[in-house]
Amino acid sequence: MHYGLGIDAGGTYTDAVIIRGSDGAVVDTKKSFTTYPDLQRGIKKVLDSLDQDILKDVNLVSVSTTLSTNSLLEGTGAPVGLILVGEHIVEKDLPTDHVKWISGGHDTRGDEEYPLDLDSVWDFAINTKDRVAAYAVSAYFGARNPEHELKVKEVITEITGMPVVCGHELSQELGAYERAVTAVLNAQLIPITYHFVNSVIKDIKSRGIHARMLMLKCDGSVYNIEDALEKPIETIFSGPAASLLGASYLSKIETCAVIDVGGTSTDVSMLHHGVPEISSSGAVVGGWKTRVRAMKMETSATGGDSHIWVKDERIHTGPRRVIPLCVAASIYPGFGNKLKRSRIISRSLLNENYQPTKFFVATGYKALGLSKQEEEILALVGDEPVSINELSISLKRDPSSEVLDALMNKRLLQAVGFTPTDALHVLGLYNEWDGTAAEAGAASLSRYVHEGKHEFCMSVREIVAKNMAADLMSFILPHHPSAMIADLLDSTYPAKFKVEIPVVLLGGPVKAYADELRSIIDAEIIVPEFAEVGNAVGALAGKGVKRIEISIVPASIQNPDEDFLVFSPAGRERFETYAQAVEFSTELGKKLVLDYEKRCGILKEDTKISVSKKTHSPDNWSHPPLETKITVVGVGNPMMVLKE
C-alpha cells in the first residue's frame, strides 16, 4: 500500500496529512506549532505524532508554506544588494536600499549595447557584503541575452560567496523593473526557504523514508523541492494555492470560492471547473508587482493570530501576527499571572506596541548590525515574555516603538498579544488553549473602548467576519472600490450581497465564523471535514504543470527571410531558416518540459504535452512572421505514483 504525505508550514502551525493512494482517503492528520528559529522541531513534532506504521510506507511527500508570503507581507525578508545593469527606470521605488546602477545591457536582439562595468560590481560587492545576506541582478534586456547578468553573478559569488539571483532565471518576459523587483524578493526569501526546505529534507531522510519530495508553487503546480532553493519566489502564495486545491479536494466541489483563515492572513481565491485562474500580469505581494505567475487571489493581513489592539476608543487589527495570550499562557509558566498584574497604559501612549496586553520574547535568531538602542532592548528580553511596562522600568524611559518594530522585522523579537483566537476562547467557540489568559486580556482591553469583555470579543469576531466578507466580495467584484464594498456590508443597510457559487471555509476555528458570515452575505457556506488541515491536503493535490515560452524573431528587419533569433529559458540561439528555428524551439520546449516532469517523479508516458504557435506580422506580409511564440505545456499527476 502506498501513501502520500502532505505538509503545510504556516506562520503559526505546521500541519500534516496522510492520504491513501488506492482511494484518496485522508487516513491521518496532525497539527503542531511552527517553531522559530529551528523549524525542524515543529516538523519533527508533527510527523512524530502521525501513525508511524503508515508513515513508513509514504513514497510521495509534497509541501506547501506561507512562510515566504508572510515574510514579504511583514517585511522580514533578508537584506539584499541589487545591481541594475543598463538603462533601468530609476525613479521607481525598489524593495531594497542597497542598489547600484552600472553600465551594460543588451538591445532587443540580444546584442551587447554597452560594455559591462565589472569594476563597479567589485566595488559594490566589497562595500555591501557585511550588510546584506544575498544579491540580485537585473540587466536591461537580460531576458534576451543573460550574458551580463551571469558575469555579475560570477563576480559577486567569487567575492562574497553569497547567493545571487538573476532576473532572467525567474522570468523570460520583458519588463526590466518587474524582473528586478522579482529578483530582489526572490533573494530576500533564500535564507528562510533554504532553512525550511532543508529542515523537511533532513527530517524525512532521518526516518528512512525514501520518497519523491515536491513543493507546491503559487500557480497550483508542483516542482522538485530542491528547485525551491533556487526559485523560492515561486513559493509565494504556495499556502493559498494549497488551500484552493485542498478545499476542492475535501468538499468535492470543482467550482467554488475559498476563504482560508490562517494565523497571519486571510486569503480568498476561486476555482472554476477544478482549475485556478492565473493572473496574466504577475503576482503582487507586499505591494510589489512581480513577474511571477500565480493564481488570482485577495489577501488581507487579518488572521486568527492578528494583533488586536486599541486606540482612540476603537478596535484595530494587525497587521502583525502575534502569539495569542491563550497560547502564551500554555507555553510560558507564570505568564497568566504576569498578564493579570499588567499595569494600565495611559490612553495618550496607546499604539500597536504600547498595549497592556503586549509582550515581547526573544526568538534566538542571530543578531547582526544592531543599533545601540536595539542592543539595549534586546539585552532586556529573554526566553520569557516581557511587557512594555517592564521594558520602560528597566530602561528608565519609554522604549521607541520604531526600534521595537525594527527588532521584530529582523525576527529577533516575537510579540505576544490579544488576537481573534483569544476572542473565540472568551466566547466559548474555541477551547484549544488557556481561556483564562484570554479572559484577562479581553477584560484589560475592553475598558479602553467602553465595552464589557464579552461584548468586546463579539465585536472582534464581527470585525473578522466582515473582513472575510469584504475580501470575498472585493475578489468577486475587482473593479469596484473596496471602500464601497465595505460600506455596503455595513449592517445598517437592508440589503446584502448574494454569491451564486458555494463558499468553502478553511482554517483552524473557521466554524466559529460560519454563522456570522452567513448573516453578512447570502451564500452557501461550507466547512468541510478536515478543514483545519486543508492546506496540507492541497499540497498533495497539485499537478506537475510546466509551461515553456520561446520567441522567434528575424535577426534583421531588412532581411526577414533568413537569419533568425530564438530566445528561450536556455539562452539565445541563431538559425539560418525559419523552419529550423521553429523545429528547434518545439523540441527544446518538449525537452525542458520532460526534464521538469522527471524531476517531479512523473514519467514521460504519464505526461500530456501540448504545443501551440502564435505569430504576429503586418498585413500583406509575405515573409516569415515578424514574431513567433512557441508555447509548450506539460501536465502530469505526481499522485499517480501512489497507485503503482
pLDDT digits (tens, 9 = 90+) for 88-127: 555 577 778 888 888 888 887 778 888 888 899 999 999 9
Stretch 426-431: mean pLDDT: 93
Predicted confidence (pLDDT) per residue in 139-153, tens digit: 888 777 888 988 999
Stretch 359-370: mean pLDDT: 85
Confidence class for position 231, pLDDT limits 50, 70, 90: confident
DSSP per position, 142-178: TTT--HHHHHHHHHHHHHH---EEEGGGT--SS-HHH
Backbone angles phi, psi at 235, to 5 degrees: -90, -5
Q: What is the predicted pLDDT for the residue at 68?
A: 65
Q: What is the predicted pLDDT for the residue at 594?
A: 93
Considering the chain, what percentage of its residues have pLDDT values greater than 90? 36
C-alpha cell read off for 222 = 508542483
Q: What is the predicted pLDDT for the residue at 140?
A: 81
- Check pLDDT > 90 for residue 36: no
What is the overall mean pLDDT for the chain?
A: 86
Helices H, strands E: what count in the chain? 19, 29
Residues near 367 by Cβ (< 8 Å), separated by ≥ 6?
Answer: 375, 378, 410, 412
Angle of the 372-380 helix axis to the 388-395 helix axis, nearest 10: 120
Write down how long the chain is: 644
Query: Within a 10 A sphere around the Cβ of 583, how many other Cβ atoms?
Result: 12
Angle of the 511-520 helix axis to the 453-476 helix axis, nearest 10: 70
Predicted confidence (pLDDT) per residue in 183-205, tens digit: 887 777 777 778 788 888 888 98
> Of 162-171, 411-420, 572-581, which gets the smallest average pLDDT?
162-171
Report the alpha-carbon angle 448-452-457, nearest 5: 90
> Of 73-77, 226-230, 452-456, which gets the smallest average pLDDT?
73-77
* CA distance linking residue 336 with residue 581, whole number of Å: 71
- Check pLDDT > 80 for residue 289: no
> Of 115-119, 568-572, 577-581, which gets the smallest average pLDDT?
568-572
Q: What is the predicted pLDDT for the residue at 352?
A: 92
> Of 165-179, 321-335, 412-426, 468-482, which gets the smallest average pLDDT?
165-179
